[in-house]
Amino acid sequence: MARIYPICSSSSGNCTFIGTRGHGILVDAGCSFRALKNSLDLIDTRIEDVEAVFVTHEHSDHIKALEQILKHTKIPIFATAATASALKDYGKIPSDAQIFDARDGYKSAFFEVSCFKTSHDAADSAGYKIKFKDESFGVCTDTGYVTEEMRNALSGCKTVLIESNYDETMLRKNPNYSADLKRRIMSGEGHLKNEDCATFCEELVRGGTRHLILGHLSKENNTPGTATSCVKRFLEQRGLIEERDFTLSAAPVMTSGEYIAV
């Protein structure tokens, strides 16, 4: 049975496993190498059981374990060419590391993976659509708005992990964030707020998505309850009922072993 297993998801770290018990792929590797291995152990999966890693962009909360993965395993790494260059230019991975171009697509006996552009202040941020047998998954975080590429790629995916980064009122009132940082987060190259996520979730559900997972929640400007309540309320106001039309959950900051089966 295919499943999606959010290993970590927040402003501090992001990593998602998709596959079956003992075999799968990773989207991002934003926790420590040790935490990644320990998290995989919780679902009886070794790091060697990971077929490939797909990187969304070069920010540290998405690539913390990447250098150690390259050093200690033979797992192939995929990213867009601009992201690969940024990783090397910023010294986050060795300059001679082999990174495969995600825009060329990926196909194996188990998976077919394609990437799509998101809008974020990175070299070339991307999300991923993953096909496993007859099931399809989408992972999309770090985008200031919903792009047409996102819409086209994620429409019809049965399970989607979608960014619901911040509650606008909480962010605006946060005394610890500078005005510049607030503008950056709320910009078209920042992050997706709860209300915009909810609007897109309606599109997804009406397009065939059954399982919604809200991800990359800000620990300072959002809560799981705030994000899920916003999405649920919006969908139910439009006649879509939880458990009948969709399931809804928030990805954990760090997993304790839960996964979503499809």
- 174, 188 Cβ separation under 8 angstroms: no
> Cβ of 1: how many Cβ atoms within 10 Å?
7
Q: What's the rounded mean pLDDT across residues 127-149?
A: 96
The DSSP 8-state label assigned to residue 61 in this structure reads: G
Residue 142's nearest CA partner among 129, 157, 158, 161 is 161
Tokens 């295919």 -> residue: 2
Tell me the CATH number at 26.
Answer: 3.60.15.10
Percent of the chain's residues with pLDDT above 90: 95
d(CA 185, CA 141): 13
Going 118 to 122 to 124 to 130, the CA torsion angle's sign is negative
Model confidence over 29-40: pLDDT tens digits?
999 999 999 999
Judge whether residue 154 has pLDDT over 70.
yes
> Cβ of 202: how many Cβ atoms within 10 Å?
18
| pTM exceeding 0.95 | yes
Beta bridge partners of 129: 114, 138
Residue 12's nearest CA partner among 237, 254, 204 is 254
Judge whether residue 260 has pLDDT over 80.
no
Read out DSSP for 220-240? TT--HHHHHHHHHHHHHHTT-
d(CA 61, CA 31): 7
Judge whether residue 261 has pLDDT over 90.
no
Predicted pLDDT at 130: 98
Model confidence over 167-201: pLDDT tens digits?
999 999 999 999 999 999 999 999 999 999 999 99
Predicted pLDDT at 243: 96
d(CA 135, CA 158): 7
Q: What's the rounded mean pLDDT across residues 110-139?
A: 96
Judge whether residue 101 has pLDDT over 80.
yes
- 55, 26 Cβ separation under 8 angstroms: no
Model confidence over 40-90: pLDDT tens digits?
999 999 999 999 999 999 999 999 999 999 999 999 999 999 999 999 999
Judge whether residue 218 has pLDDT over 80.
yes
Helix axes 224-237, 194-206, angle to 10 degrees: 50
Boundaries of domain holding 203: 3-261
d(CA 39, CA 164): 23
Judge whether residue 239 has pLDDT over 70.
yes
Predicted pLDDT at 262: 66
Q: How many domains does the chain have?
A: 1
